[in-house]
Amino acid sequence: MEVLESRLTAVRRCCAALPDTRTGDNWQYTMADIGLAAFAVFFAQSPSFLAHKRHLVEWHGHSNAQTLFGMAKIPTDNHIRARLDPITPDHFTPLFAEILTALEQSGGLTAFRRLDEHVLIALDGTEYHRSTEVQCRHCATRTRTGQPTEYFHTVLCATLVAPGHDRVVPLAPEFMVPQDGHAKQDCESRAARRWLARHGAVYARLKPVYLGDDLYACQPLCEAGLATGGHFLCVCKPDSHPTIQEYLTGIDLLEQVARVKRGRERVTHRYRWLCAVPLRGDDTALNVNWFSIEIVNPKGEVTYRNSFITDLPVDASTVAELSACGRARWKIENESFNVLKTKGYHLEHNFGHGTATSLGRARHPQPDRLCAPHRLRPRRRRLAPGPRHARAAHPLLPQSAGADRLSGLPVLDRTPGNARLRAATATPARLTDRPASQARRSIRSSAQSRIENCCDRTD
Ligand SMILES: [Zn+2]
């Protein structure tokens, strides 16, 4: 309870400092009351403002507004929307760093340490508003063939995760909204680079390893993570990384096998890796370390397969933990997005879209009876739910575009499609030098000599 009171005090202090744009006579509510009233909707997991007010007024015979949140008065929902609409999300950013600092000082961060004192920060985008009706000037748009234009909002989230830990810690988000000087719509890649530029230095003391899906396994994002003092560990799909596939082709990869007990059965984890592979096919390519994991059940069937790239050292002593950390990326979807959307926090519910900032939130097919702000009232009839507006369920936990495939072995007589590889094959280089122009022949030779050192481990 002491921790809760401390955190609520921080939220109250942050809300009290919010800019107040009121110019009229309606000053009966403080910005702290207004901000806390909005926060309380999500804290109490209220499905609507109506239910929220009931929660606030009376809960177990007490006034939650006063006893829990320290609110003097409860503003109306329309007043909350009108006052908070012009306020940018950046005003709440310090709260996330404050919560992480408190976790660090209390020793709670220790349980999140992996890979020799690193922490894992998963980055991923998610959509929280989609409509063909409700929109604002910050909405992104898309038009599918034969379908009406869709207006949607997305946000890049950063979440502290750890394999084997059943909790996650959300960090400051970065909203994808139109940026000054950019004609194109904002995207997840640009939002991720903005997030790293804004917050990377703050979290550098934690020795972060940034986890990302295949979208993040590209040079600009990997370099952005390294530039902030962090590391990267990203999913690397074969189809989107032809240069890496060229280097993997025809090589006897270093391998380690481990038997792992899972319930009553024992499964086999098979790891393969190759270090110092160019991420792309030009002379400025970043060298990365590639590894993969296969899980084989007792029947010999492959039940899971994925591959990753990282700047961290990959060898027999680290590849198993690196694989576990890479797989922990899914926690941002399973234990963050899924919880926010389906476990009572109603992230996609229409509490009001707003017009002034990027905080527009609406997508639920059943808009809250009181949720439509005064600006949207002329559209209210069109917001009414009905079969005509029924939409197919949006997948909350999108599946991977496909299990990663290891390239077939070996295809040695094929001329490399990559110019660097073609040139390099005529000039053998040492693996230990790990230059970007390393020859496939030399890698194969070195890798085959090192394969003798690979080990089998049974536990
Ligand atoms: Zn919008």
The per-residue pLDDT for 457 is 34
Distance between Cα 433 and ligand 1 center (Å): 51
How far is the centre of ligand 1, averaged over its atoms, from the C-alpha of 138 (Å)? 5
What is the Å distance from ligand 1's center to 19 Cα? 22
DSSP state letters, 344-357: S--TTS-SB--SSS
Contacts with 214 (C-beta within 8 Å, 6 or more apart), sequence order: 234, 235, 236, 237, 240, 401
State mean pLDDT over 347-363: 60
Cross-strand pairs, 456: 257
C-alpha 339 to ligand 1 mean position (Å): 23
Distance from the CA of 361 to the center of ligand 1, in angstroms? 8
Residue 60, pLDDT score: 52
- 193 token code pair: 């680079």
CA of 210 to the centre of ligand 1 (A): 29
Q: How far is the CA of 15 from the centre of ligand 1 (A)?
A: 23
pLDDT of residue 254: 95
Residues facing residue 262 across a β-bridge: 265
- Which whole number is the average pLDDT over 421-428? 46
Contacts of 38 by beta carbon, 8 Å cutoff, 6+ apart: 80, 84
| pLDDT at residue 395 greater than cutoff 60 | no
Instruction: Compute the distance from residue 152 Cα to the ligand 1 centre, in Å.
Output: 6
C-alpha span between 270 and 245 (Å, rounded)? 19
**Domains of the chain in sequence order:** 1-20+27-84 (no CATH), 96-333+402-458 (3.90.350)
**Tokens linked to 238:** 């074969």
Distance CA 273, CA 255 (A): 7
The angle that helices 93-105 and 2-16 make with each other, rounded to 10 degrees, is: 150
Q: How confident is the model at residue 375 (pLDDT cuts 50, 70, 90)?
A: very low
pLDDT bracket for residue 78 (50, 70, 90): confident
* 42-51, 85-94, 268-277, 427-436: least confident range: 427-436
Q: What local confidence, expressed as pLDDT, does residue 295 receive?
A: 96
pLDDT higher than 60, residue 328: yes
* Mean pLDDT value of segment 161-167: 94
Q: Decide: 216 and 232 in contact? Cβ < 8 Å.
A: yes
The pLDDT tens digits for 190-246 are: 999 999 999 999 999 999 999 999 999 999 999 999 999 999 999 999 999 999 999
Ligand 1 mean position, distance from CA 129 (Å): 8
366-381 b/e with 16+ CB inside 10 Å = b?
ebbebbbbebbeeeee
Say whether pLDDT at 332 is over 50: yes
Instruction: Answer whether residue 425 shows pLDDT above 50.
Output: no
Instruction: Quote the ligand 1 centre to 41 CA distance (angstroms).
Output: 21
Residue with the bigger pLDDT between 84 and 366: it is: 84
Distance 353 CA to ligand 1 centre (A): 6
Q: Is residue 453 scored above 90 in pLDDT?
A: no
Assign 271 a pLDDT band (cuts: 50, 70, 90). very high
CA distance 135 to 355: 8
Amino acid (1-letter code) at residue 299: K
Kindly report which listed range (151-155, 200-204, 339-343) carries the lowest average pLDDT score.
339-343
Instruction: Tell me the pLDDT tens digit for each residue of 122-137.
Output: 999 999 888 898 888 8
Burial class (CB in 10 A: 0-12, 13-18, 19+), 365: middle
Residue 248 CA to ligand 1 center (angstroms) comes to 45
- What's the average model confidence in pLDDT over 82-106? 90
**What percentage of the chain exceeds 90 in pLDDT?**
46
**Ligand 1 centre and the CA of 128: distance in Å?**
10
- Note the pTM of the prediction, 2 decimals: 0.74
For residues 107-120, average pLDDT: 94
Radius of gyration of the chain measured on its C-alpha atoms: 26
Asked which of 40-49, 102-111, 154-163 is least confident by mean pLDDT, the reply is 40-49
pLDDT given for residue 223 in this prediction = 97
Distance 197 CA to ligand 1 centre (A): 25
Closest CA to 396 of 327, 349, 345, 340: 340
pLDDT of 27 reads: 82
Q: How far is the CA of 350 from the centre of ligand 1 (A)?
A: 12
For residue 377, report the distance from its CA to the centre of ligand 1, in Å: 16
Least confident range from 61-65, 289-293, 343-347: namely 61-65
| Mean pLDDT score, 46-67 | 64
β-strands 287-296, 265-278 pairing: antiparallel
Mean pLDDT of 296-324: 96
Tokens standing for residue 164: 């084997």
Beta bridge partners of 254: 273
> Does pLDDT of 294 surpass 70?
yes
Helix/strand/coil for 213: coil
Q: If pLDDT is split at 50, 70 and 90, which confidence band does 283 have?
A: very high
Task: Tell which wins on pLDDT, 362 or 42.
Answer: 42
> Three-class SS of residue 150?
strand
Ligand 1 centroid vs 178 CA: distance in angstroms? 11
CB-based contacts of 314, cutoff 8 Å, min separation 6: 273, 275, 289, 290, 291, 322
Provide the pLDDT for residue 380.
Answer: 36
Q: What pLDDT score was predicted for residue 77? A: 83
* Residues in contact with 36: Cβ distance below 8 Å, sequence separation at least 6, in sequence order: 11, 12, 15, 69, 70, 71
Q: Which pLDDT belongs to residue 62? A: 56
